[in-house]
């Protein structure tokens, strides 16, 4: 395991006060936690065993893929392949584990299918009831970050599966498939200079070996970019077959790895699959022929054992039926608080039952839920630490009344209150020595940085209530506030008191 210090510049500065949290892994679970805690102003160390994979690094033929695979047989003591290989397969006794290794975890080499958690899974008795209150909100957060898109056309593989379903299988209905991929060429060109640059999908079918054209929205391009503010330092290069692919009409190309899905009322799902040309042909011969030629027992054993395992540390309200509580805290029956303080799990192992579909989106949603509570707990712990901090520390010195520096600026806010138009014209003076009562503001960030707090003047125009200007007579502002209802979102909080109106609150989310 190694810290990507050269990559996450601001996380590897090695300051004496250390980190508020350490996150192990950067897949659909770890990346969400790292992102939400970083946005909340916490100092996070992200640990990932693998390296960063650029688009040009992913294999596009069978020869190149061999250099991205590591195999280990613990029983025989045999191992070959680089330690930081993209695909890592471990076999011991009758168990086999296939792992994606790199910054972004499994999101680098999966199909990118983002299907909402089925209702039947959420009604399972094992499903934590506590999740249901915020589940839809967490799904919306995951959709926004993963930038899911609908597939613009029906590719050949999807058409073939549709014909088979219509002719041979009854009681199946088609499910709308959304992928964490970019199909919008215009949007790709417009955002070409942003750190999150993504190009448009070329429908090459290489998804399961990594996207060589930078069109897949893996977690290293969304959650982790937000967490570490990573800039693209290298100009992306593309393979020579890009020109060959461009000669084929888009609708006649292989398409994404999975572009259609059909679900039965009996609880099973059927999807089409497009395999990358990089995968060795014989590896999948057993799948297409229902048998294996003599001498290829190893491939048969590998494919027969691979599953997407979930629920290894399942969440439950009762310690008798789970490893973690619904907030991701690991149970400790011997402790008075019933959990191991500071130890959280927020990946696929939390999911307590089979979801029957591609689990990536469910994992990200569960991680969003856990991260919300995780941030709350860390901020609470950090606040307690701050209360007992050395009075001679730098942060407290900065808040002494002897600091005379200040910043002044103006802002105009327009919006609607109860459907009625409202405009606020405010003037802000940050770090004013006259400010009082800010110790009551419950934000550890604001307590450390005086320039984020200040006093406000100006007026409000609210014609539906008062024709004249409502002059602000007492107001405060915090530019970096964390609210318990959205603990991983940093926003500006205005508390404006004006006459003749009683009180106004404005929250602007960044």
Are 455 and 307 in the same domain? no
What pLDDT is recorded for position 495?
Answer: 62
What pLDDT is recorded for position 347?
Answer: 92
Are 107 and 215 in the same domain? yes
CA distance 337 to 287: 50
334 within a domain of the structure (yes/no): yes
Q: Is the pLDDT of residue 494 over 70?
A: no
14-28, 236-250, 453-467: segment of lowest average pLDDT: 236-250
Are 44 and 114 in the same domain? yes
Higher pLDDT, 272 or 113: 113
pLDDT per residue as tens digits for the range 323-372: 999 999 999 988 767 899 999 999 999 999 999 899 999 999 999 999 99
What pLDDT is recorded for position 90?
Answer: 87
pLDDT class for 385, splitting at 50, 70, 90?
low
- Number of structural domains found in the chain: 2
Q: Is the pLDDT of residue 406 over 50?
A: yes
What pLDDT is recorded for position 182?
Answer: 92
Which pair of tokens denotes residue 184? Answer: 């919008």
CA distance 373 to 130: 12
6 within a domain of the structure (yes/no): yes
Are 337 and 293 in the same domain? yes
- Say which residue the tokens 């919306």 belong to: 140
Average pLDDT over residues 33-57: 88
pLDDT per residue as tens digits for the range 302-314: 555 555 678 899 9
Q: Is the pLDDT of residue 379 over 80?
A: yes
What pLDDT is recorded for position 94?
Answer: 78
Are 330 and 407 in the same domain? no
What pLDDT is recorded for position 331?
Answer: 95
CA distance 31 to 24: 9
Q: Is the pLDDT of residue 168 over 90?
A: no
Are 497 and 406 in the same domain? yes
229-238, 359-368, 432-441, 494-503: segment of lowest average pLDDT: 229-238
CA distance 38 to 489: 10
What pLDDT is recorded for position 30?
Answer: 93
pLDDT per residue as tens digits for the range 73-84: 888 889 989 988
Parent domain of 344: 2-151+208-236+278-378
| Total residue length of the chain | 510
Are 368 and 408 in the same domain? no
What pLDDT is recorded for position 243?
Answer: 58
Q: Is the pLDDT of residue 34 over 50?
A: yes
Residue pair 90/84 in contact (Cβ under 8 Å)? The answer is no
168 within a domain of the structure (yes/no): no
Average pLDDT over residues 276-283: 67
346, 378, 410 — which closes off a domain? 378
Which pair of tokens denotes residue 86? Answer: 């993209």
Q: Give pTM, 2 decimals.
A: 0.70
Average pLDDT over residues 485-494: 59
Are 40 and 140 in the same domain? yes
Are 433 and 349 in the same domain? no
Q: Is the pLDDT of residue 267 over 60?
A: yes
466 within a domain of the structure (yes/no): yes
Q: Is the pLDDT of residue 387 over 70?
A: no
What pLDDT is recorded for position 405?
Answer: 58
169 within a domain of the structure (yes/no): no
What pLDDT is recorded for position 428?
Answer: 78
Residues 6+ away with beta carbon under 8 Å from 265: 171
* Percent helix / strand / coil, the chain, rounded to 5: 30, 25, 45
**How high is the mean pLDDT of the chain?**
75
What pLDDT is recorded for position 92?
Answer: 85
300 within a domain of the structure (yes/no): yes
Q: What's the CATH number where 372 sits? A: 3.50.50.60
Higher pLDDT, 208 or 437: 208
Q: Is the pLDDT of residue 10 over 60?
A: no
CA distance 107 to 405: 47
What pLDDT is recorded for position 85?
Answer: 92
pLDDT class for 173, splitting at 50, 70, 90?
confident
Residues 6+ away with beta carbon under 8 Å from 106: 27, 28, 100, 360
Are 364 and 485 in the same domain? no
What pLDDT is recorded for position 359?
Answer: 93
Are 434 and 490 in the same domain? yes
Residue pair 282/233 in contact (Cβ under 8 Å)? The answer is no
What pLDDT is recorded for position 307?
Answer: 59
Which pair of tokens denotes residue 177? Answer: 């498939």
């Amino acid at each position: 395991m190694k810290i990507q210090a050269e990559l996450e510049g601001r996380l590897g500065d090695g300051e004496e006060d250390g980190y508020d949290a350490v996150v192990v892994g950067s897949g659909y679970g770890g990346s969400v936690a790292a992102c939400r805690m970083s946005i909340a102003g916490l100092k996070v160390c992200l640990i990932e065993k693998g390296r960063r994979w650029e688009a040009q690094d992913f294999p596009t033929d069978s020869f190149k893929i061999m250099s991205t695979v590591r195999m280990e047989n613990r029983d025989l003591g045999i191992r070959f392949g680089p330690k930081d290989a993209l695909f890592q397969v471990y076999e011991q006794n009758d168990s086999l584990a296939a792992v994606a290794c790199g910054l972004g975890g499994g999101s680098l080499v999966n199909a990118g299918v983002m299907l909402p958690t089925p209702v039947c899974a959420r009604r399972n008795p094992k499903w934590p009831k506590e999740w249901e209150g915020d589940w839809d909100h967490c799904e919306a957060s995951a959709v926004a970050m993963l930038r899911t898109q609908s597939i613009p056309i029906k590719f050949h593989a999807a058409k073939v599966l549709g014909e088979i379903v219509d002719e041979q299988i009854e009681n199946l209905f088609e499910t709308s498939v959304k992928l964490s991929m970019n199909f919008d060429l215009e949007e790709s060109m417009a955002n070409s200079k942003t750190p999150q640059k993504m190009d448009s999908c070329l429908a090459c079918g290489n998804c399961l070996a990594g996207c060589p054209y930078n069109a897949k929205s893996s977690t290293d391009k969304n959650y982790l970019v937000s967490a570490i503010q990573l800039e693209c330092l290298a100009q992306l290069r593309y393979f020579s077959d890009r020109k060959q692919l461009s000669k084929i009409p888009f609708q006649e190309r292989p398409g994404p790895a999975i572009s259609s899905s059909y679900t039965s009322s009996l609880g099973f799902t059927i999807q089409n699959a497009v395999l990358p040309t990089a995968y060795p042909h014989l590896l999948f011969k057993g799948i297409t022929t229902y048998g294996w030629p003599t001498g290829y027992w190893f491939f048969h054993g590998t494919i027969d054992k691979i599953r997407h395992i979930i629920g290894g540390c399942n969440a439950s309200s009762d310690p008798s039926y789970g490893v973690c509580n619904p907030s991701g805290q690991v149970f400790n029956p011997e402790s008075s608080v019933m959990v191991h303080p500071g130890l959280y799990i927020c990946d696929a192992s939390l999911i307590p039952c089979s979801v029957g579909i591609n689990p990536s989106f469910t994992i990200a949603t569960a991680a969003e839920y856990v991260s919300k509570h995780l941030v709350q707990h860390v901020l609470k712990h950090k606040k307690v630490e701050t209360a007992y901090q050395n009075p001679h520390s730098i942060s407290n010195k900065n808040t002494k009344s002897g600091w005379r520096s200040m910043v002044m600026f103006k802002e105009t806010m327009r919006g609607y209150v109860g459907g009625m138009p409202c405009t606020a014209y405010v003037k802000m003076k940050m770090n004013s020595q006259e400010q009082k009562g800010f110790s009551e503001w419950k934000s550890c960030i604001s307590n450390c940085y005086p320039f984020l707090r200040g006093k406000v003047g100006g007026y409000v125009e609210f014609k539906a209530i008062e024709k004249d200007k409502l002059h602000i007579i007492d107001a405060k502002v915090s530019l970096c506030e964390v609210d318990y209802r959205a603990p991983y979102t940093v926003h500006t909080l205005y508390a404006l008191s004006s006459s003749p109106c009683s009180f106004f609150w404005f929250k602007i989310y960044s």
